[in-house]
Amino acid sequence: MSGRRFFVGGNFKMNGNKSSLDDIITNLNTVNSPETDVVVAPSPLYLDYVTNKITSQVKVAAQNCYKAAKGAYTGEVSPAMLSDVGVNWVILGHSERRHVFNESNELIGQKVKHALESGLSVIPCIGEKLDEREAGVTEQVVFEQMTFIKDNVEDWSKVVIAYEPVWAIGTGKTATPGQAQEVHEKLRKWLADNVSDDVSKSTRIIYGGSVNAGNCKELAKGKDIDGFLVGGASLKPEFLDIIKANA
């Protein structure tokens, strides 16, 4: 056993309203998986709503935040504001932030730094696009993304890395357990070589990209796969099965 607690995140993306969130919360409030960390990330508008209704066994994350505590940044949310409403986790550098909203490695690094300094735990996301995988540069891409993250982290106990190959997100095309494990193993070695053995052994690396109730058990067998970041299936009752994938 690795000693790394299984971790399952649900990224609701820009989905849900009060009524559908109520259904999801009712379902999640039946969760009984004390050995697993469960975190859900609703739209920022509903963070307070979900935080107030969900069982304390499930933590709440933001899907993004800015790199400053306050100021003239129209439309942005700060880590200080998240803490103020009881949200202690944030996803940063998600593929949609990188590729739809053009967030750079530099900006993501700055956000990671500020969020950690503000006391949040972070889930930085990395992953290659299809053309990059086909060109054989997956490692190069994810290692470069990791470098910008690493340079901004002091306390790795507050970091869960999410490997999400862009070509597997929302496409129904999951990485095979072998493909996912291969990259996770390389990322763990990268952590050993570039940070420390301790950090490599203790940091959770979770997989995201079309995870569902049908494929989660096989994926969870990968020795370097410490859980999942789930999109579409986290909005459905099957999310509970994914939470129990390693049981």
Ligand X SMILES: O=C(CO)COP(=O)(O)O
Which pair of structure tokens corresponds to residue 51? 């935080």
Nearest to ligand X of 132, 164 (CB atom): 164
Tell me the backbone φ, ψ of residue 40, rounded to 5 degrees.
-120, 145
Residue closer to ligand X by CB (options 200, 226) is: 226
Q: How far is the CB of 120 from ligand X (least distance, A)?
A: 17
CB of 11 to ligand X, least distance (A): 4
Distances (CA, A) of 24 to 19, 70, 172: 9, 32, 22
Residue corresponding to tokens 């700060």: 78
Q: Is 73 exposed, middle or buried (0-12, 13-18, 19+ CB in 10 A)?
A: exposed
Q: Which is nearer to ligand X, 78 or 210 (CB)?
A: 210
Helices (H), the chain: 18-28, 47-53, 79-84, 95-99, 105-117, 130-134, 138-150, 177-194, 197-202, 216-220, 239-243
Report in angstroms how near the CB of residue 149 gets to ligand X at its nearest: 16
Minimum distance from CB of 84 to ligand X (Å)? 25
* Residue nearer to ligand X on the CB measure, 79 or 124: 124
d(CA 177, CA 175): 6
Chain positions contacting ligand X, by CB under 6 A: 11, 94, 164, 169-170, 208-211, 229-233
Residue nearest to ligand X (CB): 231
Catalytic residue among 94, 103, 114, 184: 94
Half-sphere exposure of 69 (CA within 13 A, CB side): 7
182 catalytic per annotation: no
Kindly tell me which of 146 and 230 has the beta carbon lying closer to ligand X: 230
Looking from the CA of 32 toward its CB, the CA atoms found within 13 Å total 1
Task: Kindly name the residue from 96, 128, 132, 164 that is annotated as catalytic.
Answer: 164
Q: How many CB atoms lie within 10 A of CB 210?
A: 20
Indicate if 99 belongs to the active site.
Answer: no
DSSP 245: T
**In the complex, minimum distance from the CB of residue 70 to ligand X, in angstroms, rounded to a whole number:** 27
Could you list the active site residues?
94, 164
